[in-house]
């Protein structure tokens, strides 16, 4: 039994089965009672818990929890256990309707199988370095969106309350503007612009916002993030080039010495 629980292929199959069951629970299938899906889902969760126990028994708690993948797996198992207790005690005060939401966290267990992807650690390190290098740009971009959101709320809260009625709603609308998709519909919806001049000013205002935030801003964020992510690869290539150049220099020196003798 322990050997089966520690079999990655077996666990991956259960994870995929768990994902399918959760999806099927969202549909009304008359030929299969909903309780069947619930029981299978609960059984899979129990097996995941037994898998964690088996690994802890084999590796000891310290060695088990020191591994980042095991730590993530353990957290996800703990998040999914409340739904099992709610199912075993359906008439209790645990609140099945709220605890059953934790079931979806079990699907995230598939993330741990990313470790079998070649060079996945290098990819994660690249993302981490990119986030660290781009933090200033992200903060600046957020501040710009915040300022534009407050300004738009002050200017258009009465003209378009459904878009700019509150600072939070205005900030969300500005964020949609930065995505560029359908941005031209927002100035058209502002109904207080009675004259051609005022409507032209409104369109100019939103054009500038989209140009700075949506075109230039997002392009800058993307370029810095991608450049930071690839910087590790560039460093490795530079080291290989330097090493190759050093070896070529040594070889050239040996040839030159042989010619002299």
pLDDT in tens, 14-60: 888 887 887 887 777 777 777 788 788 888 888 888 988 999 998 89
**Would the CA dihedral through 185, 190, 196, 200 be positive or negative?**
negative
pLDDT digits (tens, 9 = 90+) for 58-115: 889 999 998 878 888 888 888 877 777 766 665 555 444 555 566 566 666 667 677 6
pLDDT confidence of residue 107? 66
Q: Is the pTM of this model over 0.75?
A: no
- Helical spans, DSSP H, in 89-119: 96-99
CA distances from 102 to 93, 111, 163, 243 (A): 16, 17, 33, 52
- Helical spans, DSSP H, in the chain: 2-5, 8-24, 34-59, 61-66, 68-88, 96-99, 120-156, 161-164, 167-178, 185-189, 196-209, 218-260
Report the CATH superfamily, name and number, of domain 2-116: Voltage-gated potassium channels. Chain C (1.20.120.350)
- Cβ(193)–Cβ(109) below 8 Å: no
Tokens 């989209």 sit on residue: 210
Lowest mean pLDDT among 82-96, 132-146, 162-176: 82-96
Domain edges within the chain: 2-116, 123-260
- Topology of domain 123-260 in CATH is Helix Hairpins (1.10.287)
CA distances from 1 to 4, 38, 53, 100, 188 (A): 5, 24, 12, 28, 66
What's the average model confidence in pLDDT over 168-185?
86
Supply the mean pLDDT for the chain. 77
The percent of residues in the chain predicted with pLDDT above 70, rounded, is 77
């Amino acid at each position: 039994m322990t050997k089966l629980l520690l079999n990655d292929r077996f666990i991956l199959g259960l994870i995929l089965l768990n994902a399918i069951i959760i999806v099927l629970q969202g549909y009304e299938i008359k030929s299969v009672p909903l309780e069947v899906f619930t029981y299978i889902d609960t059984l899979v969760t129990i097996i995941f818990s037994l898998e964690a126990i088996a690994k802890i028994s084999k590796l000891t708690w310290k060695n088990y929890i020191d591994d980042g993948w095991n730590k993530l797996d353990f957290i996800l198992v703990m998040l999914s256990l409340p739904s099992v207790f709610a199912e075993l005690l359906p008439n209790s005060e645990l609140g099945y309707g709220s605890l059953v939401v934790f079931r979806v966290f079990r699907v995230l267990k598939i993330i741990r199988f990313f470790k079998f992807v070649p060079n996945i650690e290098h990819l994660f390190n690249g993302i981490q370095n990119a986030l660290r290098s781009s933090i200033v740009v992200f903060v600046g971009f957020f501040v710009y969106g915040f300022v534009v959101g407050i300004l738009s709320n002050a200017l258009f809260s009465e003209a378009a309350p459904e878009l700019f009625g509150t600072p939070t709603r205005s900030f969300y609308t500005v964020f949609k503007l930065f995505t560029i998709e359908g941005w031209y519909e927002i100035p058209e919806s502002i109904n207080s612009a009675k004259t051609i001049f005022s409507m032209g000013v409104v369109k100019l205002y939103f054009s500038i916002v989209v140009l700075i935030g949506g075109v230039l801003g997002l392009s800058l964020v993307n370029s810095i993030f991608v450049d930071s992510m690839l910087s590790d690869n560039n460093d490795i290539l530079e080291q290989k080039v330097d090493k190759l150049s050093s070896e070529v220099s040594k070889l050239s020196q040996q040839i030159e010495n042989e010619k002299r003798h």
